[in-house]
Each structure stands twice: as C-alpha cells, then as structure tokens.
Amino acid sequence: MSDFGLIINGDRIATSNRFDVINPATEELVATCPLAEASHLDQAVEAAREAFTHWSQVSDEERKAATHKIADLIEQHGGELAGMVTEEQGKPLQGFAGLGAQYEIGGSVAWCHATAELELPVKIAQDDENHRVELRRKPLGVVGSITPWNWPLLIAIWHVIPAIRSGNTVVIKPSPYTPLSTLRFVELANQILPPGVLNIVTGQDDLGPLMTAHPGIDKIVFTGSTATGKKIMQSAAGNLKRLTLELGGNDAGIVLPDVDVASIATGIFASAFINSGQTCAALKRLYVHESIYEEMCSALKAIAENLTVGNGLEEGVDFGPVQNAPQLEKVKALAADARAQGARFLTGDSLPDGPGFFFPLTLVADVSDGCRLVDEEPFGPILPIIKYSDIDEVIERANNNPSGLGGSVWSSDLEQASQLANRLECGTVWINNHAAIQPNVPFGGVKQSGFGVEFSTEGLEEYTSIQSVFIPKS
C-alpha cells in the first residue's frame, strides 16, 4: 500500500517526499504517506475557504443527508478500515470486551448517524410588539483538526463530522503515527461532499504549528497531550482562533468499602486497560478502601493472568502493543520508578520476546500519590492500585492533580456515590462504570484536561457562533 495521497479540493495530490508508517506489533512498514509542505497546507486552506462560501449556505437537510451517507460508506468499508486501524494503531480487531478496531469503526458509524440528527434551531430571545430577536447559529469558517494516535479514526470522526454538519469546511492533520485510516476516510467522504469541504494534509509534528498559526483557519479542534495543547493555545492567538482542546487525563476511580468486588472487577479492568490503557478517559488511578484492598488486587490479578497480549491481527488476542517506541519508553520509565520506590508488581514481570512495542498488562500495588506512576498519565497498560482509609482524604487526593477529564465512584449506595460525584473536579463522573461515552452526552475536561466539549448539541454549538438578528415589527 503506497498509493495514499493528500486530498485537497477533492483531488488526490502526490508529494515529493513521503514518510513511513510502522505496524507497532511487528515494527514492519505498513505504508508510506505523503509528507505535506507548507504550500500544500496553503492550498488546502484556500480550497476549504472557497468551499465554505457554498457549503455554509446549503440547506440543513442537505448536510444531514450527506452525513448519513458518509456513515453508510464507512460501514460498507468497515472491514478495510478496521484492518487499517489494527495495522497502524495496534489494537486487536475484536479485543477484550469487544473494544478493538471493529468497535472503533462501529462507533464511527454510530457517531456520524447521531450527529447527522442533531439540530441547532433558531432561538427566540424576544418577540413583542417592537421586535422579534432571533439567535441564529452560524458556522465559523475553516476548521483545522489535529488528531492523536490512540483512536485515530473515531477521533477524526468526532472532529470532522460536527464541523461539516454545522456548515464549516475542514483541513485535518492526523497523527504521523496513524494517518492511514483517516486518509481513507477522507477519500471516501469526498465521494459524497463537494470538493474542498474536507481536505487532509499528512506530515510530521511540524505541520501542526503551521496550522495553528495559519491566518486562513478560524478554529482548531485538537485532541492530544496537555503539553501540545498549551503550545496550540499560544500559537492560535494570532487571529484569535476558536479552540476546543481535549487533552490528557489522569482519571481517578474510587472504590468504596460497600462494593461486591467480584461483580465490579471486570468493569474496572476493562475501563483501565481499554486500548492497552491508551485512552484519554481510561481509569488511571484506582483508589481502593483498605478493607477490600487485597481482595480487589487478587480479583484484578486473576483477570490479567488469563488475557493475551499480541499482534491484533491474530485470533484470540485481547490487547495489542503500545502504539510507538517513545510512548513505550515512557511507560517503562514510570514502571521502573515505581519499582525503585518499592511498589509491589502483581503482574507484568516479563516482557514478551520478539519485535513490537509490547508491554505486559501490569498491576501495581502498594504505590501512592507522589509516585510518578500515580501523578502522571502513563497512557499504557499499567494501573496503580492505591490504598485509602478515609473518604474525605481520598476525594482530596483524587482532586490533587492538574488533570480533570473523568472520574468514577464504585459503590452499592447510589445516593452516596452521586453525592460524592459533586466533589470530584472533572468533566464526567461515572458511577459503577468508567470511560463510557455516548454521542448524546457532552464530553470534555476541566483544569488542564482542556476546555470545550464534544458530542451532543452542546458539542455541535462549538462549531458555530451566535448571530443575533433584530427584526422590527414594522
């Protein structure tokens, strides 16, 4: 596969230089990708600006129908796209709890259909004998989308679909580690959309700052690390770009003493290790009451020991590799630091042989706040299990972190759990669950996990500005 090209104004564009995309399970070449230059970005932005004139004015029905058709095309090409996601990202086709590449494709289809059905009706602020004042939602212009490598296709859908549904045009730049499924998606969507509505440029990280500083881009929607999010905020100031920043998380899950450990252990495990822990809203710090601490450690250990880590294209593999070598080094460093501080490794002692950026499913007990593994987002298949004794103290420890994406409370007392949710500093709180997202519920972080929300009507509104129109009665 080496026929990937940029898509600009509906045309496939070749570049002089290309870069390699590596399968993280084998370290073999999957494909080469076009390396865009600044001039390609300029062309893409120009095409998007031109297309905006028309696309912003087409009827809502037309945009809704196009969005449904894109969903249908993704579904028709689901097998091909799932294979690409597994090869470039590493997650198994099916995987543990069915949360692999096929789930990513199914989610993409579902999110397209759900977003197609969202509406931004005109609101009436005043209607009296003097004036009717209408609040209309207007698209912003050209949206620049910058995506990470963990859920490459699904996150591209989360950016692109609400943008075009609400009348904007888009230039997307996927992560250099995982550009293939996004390139194919954009190619497919261009069978439906008018030329220039959706354009893609691929390249290395240095393409990102060119986008965030580009005067022809009106909004940046970014999903990625907090460090990059801060750079984007500075760079976007030139023309006061609107921003949606979905950044890193270090979600705490708090397990109260009244739980039935056996019945919640699988849910906790799945929400911590989803996509080998490389999920923004995965459960990353597990606080367990001292009275059930050892029971919970044993239950999680028993689950991990029965699961297989390997090449996601092979049958029966539950979890894939870490997506790239630098991320693997970070996970190893956090594990080594915890070991040096005397943590107890319940699982994960041995690394698989052979190629691939593999790290075992690792459960770490007897660690606490102040250890890097707890304080920093590992973004890999490793979970610290932290003992606590007092509920007020554990809420304070959960909140004592710069991130504020999600959090969870696990308890058989739903009333108490719901009260505790009020005290957690994060954008989403789940009770007896974690990391479950859906297209009709806004999702976004507080503190250094970013700002703005995605999904639902509230997410769609972020791609628009309000125009207040005063209509005199005579």
β-bridge partners, 469: 134
Residue 77, both tokens: 């090409």
- Active-site annotation holder among 87, 88, 104, 246: 246
Q: Which of 224, 192, 232 is nearest to 7 (CA)?
A: 192
Considering beta carbons, is residue 348 or 444 the nearer one to ligand NAD? 444
Which residues are at the interface with ligand NAD (CB under 6 A)? 146-150, 173, 175-176, 205, 208-209, 212, 223-225, 228, 231-232, 246-249, 280, 377, 379, 405, 445, 449-450
Q: Which of 28, 3, 19, 175 is nearest to 87 (CA)?
A: 28
CB-based burial of residue 312 (10 Å sphere; 0-12 exposed, 13-18 middle, 19+ buried)?
buried
Using DSSP's 3-state secondary structure scheme, residue 22 falls into strand
- Estimate to the nearest angstrom the gap between the alpha carbon of 386 and the chain centroid: 26
Minimum CB separation of residue 215 from ligand NAD in Å reads 16
Angstrom CA distances, 35 to 125, 203, 220, 299, 303, stand at: 49, 5, 21, 48, 43
DSSP for 68-115 reads: HHHHHHHHHTHHHHHHHHHHHH---SS-GGG-SHHHHHHHHHHHHHHH
Rounded to whole angstroms, the Cα distance separating 5 from 225 reads: 27
- Active-site annotation holder among 87, 104, 112, 280: 280
Q: What angle do CA 265, 267, 273 make, to 5 degrees?
A: 100
Considering beta carbons, is residue 90 or 224 the nearer one to ligand NAD? 224
Rounded to whole angstroms, the Cα distance separating 115 from 109 reads: 10
> Residues 88-103, buried b or exposed e (16+ Cβ, 10 A)?
bbbbbbbbbeebbbbb
Identify whether 80 is a catalytic site residue.
Answer: no
Minimum CB separation of residue 121 from ligand NAD in Å reads 27
Question: What is the distance in angstroms between the CA of the first residue and the CA of the last residue of the chain?
Answer: 65
Identify whether 426 is a catalytic site residue.
Answer: no
Residues known to be catalytic: 246, 280
